[in-house]
Every structure is written in structure tokens, then in C-alpha cells.
A and B are shown apart, each in its own frame.
Chain A
């Protein structure tokens, strides 16, 4: 395959940035999208040009480090991570537009690399059960119905890539935040801090500058792990029930 790539180049956070066009040829359909970018980068390096910077690590679709807005969609045309997207999803001669995630809370560091530490701070605000190492009960002393465990798992499978934010017209982080709140709200281990958690994580989410949710559902539609919109509904319930009975806020 021969392709034209329209890629966002930005030297650093303060640079204005802009699109630049590149051509790549002899791209195999079996290559992953990132391997195609590797080919481009080898080509650029050979010519002495600065390679395109992008985040990636595991290349197995689980670490959540890869991102990229491809032809207007986070992680490209399929509901998977960019590293699991293969070139068989594209056609010979196509022009592919590649941009970084766009959100105030995800500033661009260079080219396609963004800063997602705002997600870490949301988790730090309460995305945990406050247990220290040691002194916990035997694992089987906390029986959990399989259905609940499975549902909690579905929420816990979020990889924190930020596609939900990138897909949302409001750059809202509701799907990400609600996935963690849901997981712990459903499990018995999460009950003690349930209300406080919802309040604190949502407060942090707002403080980071993420937008509000208008129930469009783009986040869930684009989520590579298929995190369900019902988590947002659950988070809203959690939040309302927390604030009406709050002793903290």
C-alpha cells in the first residue's frame, strides 16, 4: 500500500503546531498502525528529520499508553486501541489524518504526545479502597455474587487511555471516572468509602478542566474496551445520593 499521512507536528507545549504531509510506500496490510509509523520514522531519521513522537508501550492493547486521533476518531476506525489497529483497515492510496488527543486537560507535549496526568490525579482523589498491606481478611471471607463480580470487572477493564475524553465534544472524563467509581461501588470492599469516593473523584475531575456530560455516548462508542455508558448513570446516582447525605462537603 502507498499512503499519504497528514500528521500534527508540534515542537513542544508552547509551540502552535500544524499539519505536515508525508508519503509512505510498500506498507503491508499485516502491519499494525504503529508499525506503519515506525516505518515513517525510520524514513525520516534516514533523511535527518525529527521522527514523529507518539506514545506507545505494550502494543498489546492493554497499557493504555497509545492514543492518536485517526481520521477524526480516537484509535481509528475500529473499536480497539491504535496499537491493535492493523493496516488492513485502510486502502491503498488513502490519506490518513493523525492528530493528538484534543482536550484542555490533556495538553500536547510534542507532536502526538499528550499529558494525561489529570487521570492519575482523579484516581488519587479516591479511586481506591483504603486498606494497608497486611491485616486483611481471608479472600474467601468476602463472597461476591458472580454477576456482580463480572460487572465490576467490566468497569475495571478501563485502560485509562483517554479515548473517551478525545471522543467527547465536551472533553468530558465522565466515562473514565465512572468506571472506577462503579467498580468500587458494586463491590463490598468499596462500600465504606463509597460516598466520599464519588464526591472527591468528581470534584477532582471538575478541577482538572474536563467538560460536562451531555449523554451523547460517543465516549462509550469509541472506548477500546467497550466501557458501558451505564457506568455514567451509576456514577450520577452515586453522586446524588452522596451529596444529599454528605457529611464531607
Chain B
């Protein structure tokens, strides 16, 4: 199998412009003859659904939450990047492109990333026009800040709630199209399968989460905007409902899954407090602009701290190790996420962790408060400080925050070409659900940018190219392929309900999460991954023979919902392990202990691994087939990332 990324010819800066001209257009009068299904209503889904409806397509939008406004994009805190160069500090489209390629450790496609940087400027214009209340300067113009890993101030923000404001903007555009009758909304509806007819995606099977009804929806194209799969780790910063089911169902129907092992572990999260923990809370990394990361210089002091014999404020300046500033003098506390996370792990592994579990480091605002005053710090981060105090009971204005890395984002996802189409014609993946733009590590404030770029400014052009060529013949949802898929879904539901085992769904999810965190988390080894694979296989067998799913299908049944999702997470977990095991190098969020520089940095192997690893499902219980898409770098020179 050969993957065609469909990257246009020509110089990097002209590819997208040329491509937009070369794609086929759908006549305005014909657009109303097409139906498009959009699954997921986060930044990518809501912006795509709204934009396509504005163009005249008939859109059906699905989400599992009670309202499209709940999608987890809403929780993004820090900001959104755009190469506006409003600050006159040397930013440009090329610099944003370069930073993103480098930040992704040279494992993303040049052409996609350049396009992302190019349209980033349009996103800000669009959001402002919608009434998104970005932060402003006293002169009335937009404010920017520098954010995780960037040396220019290109991040636009709305206090610590940027994702909320952007999503509400996209949701308002979506709501307008619902009112216009161009979008039909299906909240509390979950995708159960993707239906293909003659090799093309022609619809989906859903389950109504209130009534349990299994239904078929046909369309001319299907867009999966279903987010990432960080919840495979059980504990993550994702919402409780975030899941891989839509992407995984598509995968089992033939869509390739690319780079599944690239996971972003975010350095600034509130540490785990006990076994009861259901999710982890992120503290925006904008905090690293003013907070200084440190641990005690010696294990002895750390021990005293852990036993509560001393307070962090008692520790003298010379006994504090500001390890990021020490190791990376030019980037300091602003090194990219993977570097910051791994270093936190190192100092804690050395025994210098600062909370009871020994898995936490300090993020200290003492110096910033002395320098700028408490009011300035409150104005910048007030809501985050309040959130921290609410969860931990500590006052971060007086004591340093404690933080530890947590799973946050998955760079891997469904393989897509330059048009955001998977290898199944008519099936698209947008936003975090695809693999395309962040390589092996995503920079801060780039997820919002990508979600909205895909939805507002890429898919409206590229989908037309496909639709114009595929014709608008309608396939009814009682086509045999739909009936077949419906039956498979119903059988699976019946199977889950009939096992009546002894362990709850959460029990299996927690066990899976622990395997993934221990062996496929921040640092991985061939030995650990091999062990993990066997453990997951065993877990899968046990799940399908001993899971307890209560209640019936024909009702609101949250354990059944979760059972579907966890069953898919288990299978995904195994593929992530395969991918991590095969990639004999370290890059970005994928750190194999066997492959590191003498200084402990990720050691890439560009000669053998400068490719996208796309995996093809080969049937129940079979090993998946690896398909490689070589990454060709014509504009940037591959170097060892250095933030020193």
C-alpha cells in the first residue's frame, strides 16, 4: 500500500495558494444537493460545520454531550498562536512554520505546517469579527504574550479561558446555521460506526444516548472532528467523555492510524492526590512565563519537605535548584513541553520530588510577585490561582504551586492527506483527531490554531474538490451496508450487556491506564513495551469475559457508553505500544530510554525514522500492518533540537 499525501508542487509559500486554485469547485446551486456529516463539535467540528453550512452544504452535526458548547476545546486555557507580528518582534509566517516544525522534532509535513502558519492570521480576524473578547491593550488593540517554547509574542488570549471563548465563537456561528436550517444538531448522540459503500465513506451509525436507539445517517462525506485519545491513560487532562471510539471505528473500517505513540505529556498539571482521582487538571503553561520551576538541591532537603518538617519558603536560595534555568539558559522555564516534562521526571526519579508521593516539583511565583506585585499577578493568572487553591487547598500567592506532568494531547491520529482526507475517500479527520501538523510534539497554543485552521479555512476548500468529483447521488440509509453495520453495532451492544462479569468498566480502564503510563508514558523501553503488549492482550481477553455492564440498551446508560469507549481504548493501547516499540529513536513526546544523547536529550534517527508510521488494521487479533509515508524536508535543515 502506498500513501499519497497529495502535497502540491511548487515553492513552500505558494503551495496552498496554488492548491486552492487547482481544486475543483462545487457550483453554488449544487451545494445544497450535498449532505455532510460532522462528528464532534469542538473547535474543528463547530467551525467546519458552520463554515460548510454557510457555503450552502446541508450539515448534520453530532456530539455526545448535551450541547455542542461542551466539547473539550472549551477547557483550553493559554491561547492561540498566529503569525500576525503585531508586536514587531520578528515574527512571520515562516518563523511560526519553522518553530512548529522544529518544536515537533521534525516529524511533521512541511507543507501542512506552512499552511497552518499561513492561515493562522485569518483565524484571529474571524474570531474577533464574531465578538470573541480577546485580551486588549489600553490603546484598544489586541494584546499578545509569549507562550511555551516561543521567543516571540504571538499568542492571543482571553485571560486563562481562551479555548472557552474561541469555542463559544464557533458555537455561535454553528447556532446561527442551526437557526438557518442548514445544520441539524444531534446532541447526546454517539458515533458507533462509519459506513462505507463501494469504498467511500457514506455515513455513520449512531446511538442515541437517551433512548438507546441505533440509527443510520447517510451523507456524501463524513468529517471526524472527535479530538484526541489521551484518556487511554485513564488519568489525563481530557474531559471524562473524550474518547477514541469514532477514530477507532474508522480505523477498523480501513482508515490508517498514524503515529499513535506520539503523546504529549504536559509539564504543568496539579499532581495526583490519591487513588480516587478521576482526572487531572492542567495549570496553563502561561504560568511558566512568570513562575520559576525548582526542586531542592539535595535529596535530604526534599525528604524533610516531604515529611512536612520544613516549608518550601524556608529553603534558602542556594539550596534551590532551578533546574530548567540551569540546564537551558537561553529558554529557561520556557523550554518546550516534552523537555520540561522529562526533566521534572528526572529530578523526581532522583528523589527530589516535593510532595508526599515524591512526584511533584515547584512552580514558584515568589519572585514575580516581588517584582510586579500581587495585583499584577492576580490580573494575569487570577482564575488559575483560584482553581489551584480550590483543588489543593493551598494558597499559591503564599506557597509555591506544586506541579507534575500529565497526559494532555495526542499528536497521533487518523492519517490524512494534504486535503485532510483519510485513505478512505470521503472520510476526513480534522483537529486533534488527525495526525498532521504537530509532528512528535505540539507547541503551546497551537492546538486551538490547528482546530480552527482545519475547520474554518482548510476543509471548506478541500471538501469541494472531492464532492465535485464524486457526484451527488443520494444513498439511502436503508442500504444493505447500513443495515449490516447497524446489526454489528447492535450485536456488540448485546454482547457487552450479556457478559455480566464481575469487574466494572472503570476497573479495566484504570488498569489499562496504569499499563500505558508505566510503560508507554514519559519514558519508554523496548523491554517495558514488550511487557505492556502482553499485559494489554491479557486485559482485553479479561474485559470481554468479565466486564460488568449494568442496565439495558433502551435507556440512558452511562456504563454502557463507557464500556464501548474502554473496549476501543484497550485495542488502541496495544497499537500505541506497537508503534512506540517499532520507533527505535527518541523524538518529541516519544522518548525511548535506549536512544538519548549523553546529556539525556532525545536522540532522533533521521536516516531510518524520518517517516510517518501509518498503521493498517488487518483483522481481529492480527498484527497491524505498517505503512510508511516518508517525510521530505526541502526547506528546513534537520538539526538536533537545542534549547540551551
Contacts and interface: CB of A to CB of B under 8 A. Distances in A.
Interface of A: 11-12, 28, 30-32, 34-35, 38-39, 42, 45-46, 48-51, 53, 55-65, 78, 80, 84, 86, 88, 109-110, 113, 115-117, 119-120, 123-134, 136-140, 142-146, 149-150, 152-153, 156-157, 159-160, 183-184, 187, 189-190
Contacts of B239: 57-59, 63
29 contacts: A28-B273, A30-B273, A30-B276, A30-B393, A46-B504, A48-B550, A51-B558, A57-B72, A57-B240, A58-B74, A58-B239, A59-B240, A62-B74, A62-B163, A86-B390, A120-B69, A126-B179, A127-B172, A128-B131, A133-B457, A136-B128, A138-B125, A142-B128, A149-B140, A153-B165, A156-B165, A156-B168, A183-B131, A183-B133
Given A42-B504, A45-B548, A128-B173, A189 B276 contact: no
A55 to B, nearest CB: 6
B178 interface: yes
User: 4 smallest A-B Cβ distances: which pairs?
Assistant: A143-B140, A128-B172, A136-B129, A153-B133
A145 B140 contact: yes
Interface residues of B, number: 81
A190 B133 CA distance: 12
A84 B72 CA distance: 16
Contacts of B47: 133
Interface stretch (B26-34, B277-285, B288-296, B307-315): B277-285
A129 B125 CA distance: 13
Contact of A134 (B122, B164, B279): B122
Interface of B: 47, 50-51, 54, 65-72, 74-75, 84, 86, 122, 124-142, 158-159, 161, 163-165, 168, 171-173, 175-176, 178-179, 185, 187, 210, 237, 239-241, 273-274, 276-279, 281-282, 387, 390-391, 393, 456-457, 460, 504, 506, 548, 550-551, 555-556, 558-559
A137 B54 CA distance: 18
Nearest to A152: B133
B38 to A, nearest CB: 14
Given A59-B239, A127-B172, A127-B175, A120 B129 contact: no
Nearest to B238: A58
B161 A189 contact: no
Contacts of B129: 129, 131, 136-137, 142, 189
A159 B550 CA distance: 32
A62 B164 contact: yes
B356 to A, nearest CB: 11
Contact of B175 (A62, A128, A138): A128
Given A46-B504, A61-B387, A30 B126 contact: no
Contacts of B185: 120
Contacts of B54: 132-133
A146 B140 contact: yes
A18 B46 CA distance: 38
B401 to A, nearest CB: 16
Given A139-B128, A146-B140, A187-B131, A63 B279 contact: no
A51 B559 contact: yes
Given A116-B67, A156-B158, 18 more contacts: A12-B555, A12-B556, A28-B274, A48-B548, A51-B558, A59-B279, A120-B178, A128-B130, A128-B172, A128-B175, A133-B50, A133-B456, A134-B126, A134-B456, A136-B125, A153-B158, A183-B133, A189-B128
Contacts of A55: 66
Contacts of B135: 149
Nearest to B176: A128
A58 B130 CA distance: 25
Given A120-B68, A153-B133, A63 B75 contact: yes
Given A63-B239, A133-B173, A146 B136 contact: yes
A53 B188 CA distance: 14
Task: Give the residue among B65, B127, B163, B172 with the most A Cβ atoms within 10 A.
Answer: B172
